Amino acid sequence: MATWTIKGVTTDDAIAVALNNGRAFWHQPMWRMVWPKDITREYLIEQLTKRMPMRLLRDRDAFRHQKAVDNETGALLGYARWKFPESLVAAGKDGKVEWAEAQVPEVSADQEKAFKERQDSAWWKPSEEMNAVDTGAQEVKERILGEKEYIVLDYLAVNPDNQGKGVASSLVESGMEEARRLGFPIFVYGFLVARNLYLRLGFTEVETVVESEENGVYFMIYEVPKAA
């Protein structure tokens, strides 16, 4: 039985989400290539922490955010971000908000101003070394998403201390449940480290952009069962 609960995210979680995400991706070869070699993990997490509240508030109609929380300590164990297709975004703007519990709550104008000032003070200058792979991956992503509407698993990160325990699976399965309820397939693309997770959960690999075994992007789709 899982010892954690999947919940929605607020801006109060920004520091914990930044710590989780920075630690989760620091050891991924492709992610490390994005940053200058003299950047430390601690410095990058500090900058990410400054940016995170505005990242959570970005385009609230389109994005849904989830965290896995330890039932005993309340610690954040993992994080997932999902992006709605245009039809669900439009419905939300018209008042039909779906998956509302995973929508980050609004903040006051003064809070948002303070968050924006903190974001603007952050250093954030990824290198151009990954442009070739990113360009190829972006082209594939845009082509697939142009074929029909998907809910996109836009981000998935589990702190290394909590990996291998089923946290990532729980976060993905929670989104899969919502996708089935809403009747939309899921699209995700990611690195080799997560490939087997998605395959095990029922995703199908539809394309790859691979420069080497370590530097590859894998494109996956989960088709929701058709209603009887």
- List pLDDT tens digits, range 156-179: 999 999 999 999 999 999 999 999
Residue 94 has pLDDT above 70, yes or no: yes
| pLDDT recorded at residue 78 | 98
Task: Answer whether residue 115 is part of any domain.
Answer: yes
| pLDDT recorded at residue 209 | 86
Task: Answer whether residue 227 is part of any domain.
Answer: no
Task: Answer whether residue 69 is part of any domain.
Answer: yes
Q: For residue 133, name the pLDDT band (cuts at 50, 70, 90).
A: low
Start-to-end CA span in the chain (Å): 31
Task: Answer whether residue 101 is part of any domain.
Answer: yes
Residues 3, 97, 150, 112, CA torsion sign: negative
What contacts 209, CB < 8 A, 6 or more positions away?
A: 133, 136, 137, 140, 216, 217, 219
Q: H or E element: which one contains 218?
A: strand 216-222
Centroid of chain to Cα 121: 23
Task: Answer whether residue 228 is part of any domain.
Answer: no
Instruction: Give the burial class of 28: count Cβ atoms within 10 A of its Cβ; 0-12 exposed, 13-18 middle, 19 or more buried.
Output: middle
CB 6 within 8 A of CB 68: yes
The residue segments making up the domain with residue 8 are 4-222
* Average pLDDT estimate for 57-66: 97
- As a whole-number percent, the residues of the chain with pLDDT over 70 amount to 93
Task: Answer whether residue 199 is part of any domain.
Answer: yes
pTM here is: 0.93
Residue 54 has pLDDT above 80, yes or no: yes
Task: Answer whether residue 94 is part of any domain.
Answer: yes
Pick the residue with more confidence: 217 or 130? 217
CB 150 within 8 A of CB 184: yes
Domain tally for the chain? 1
Tell me which residue of 35, 10, 37, 9 sits closest to 22, measured CA to CA.
35
Residue 132 has pLDDT above 70, yes or no: no
Any idea what the CATH number is for the domain that residue 36 is in?
3.40.630.30
Residue 227 has pLDDT above 70, yes or no: no
| pLDDT recorded at residue 210 | 78
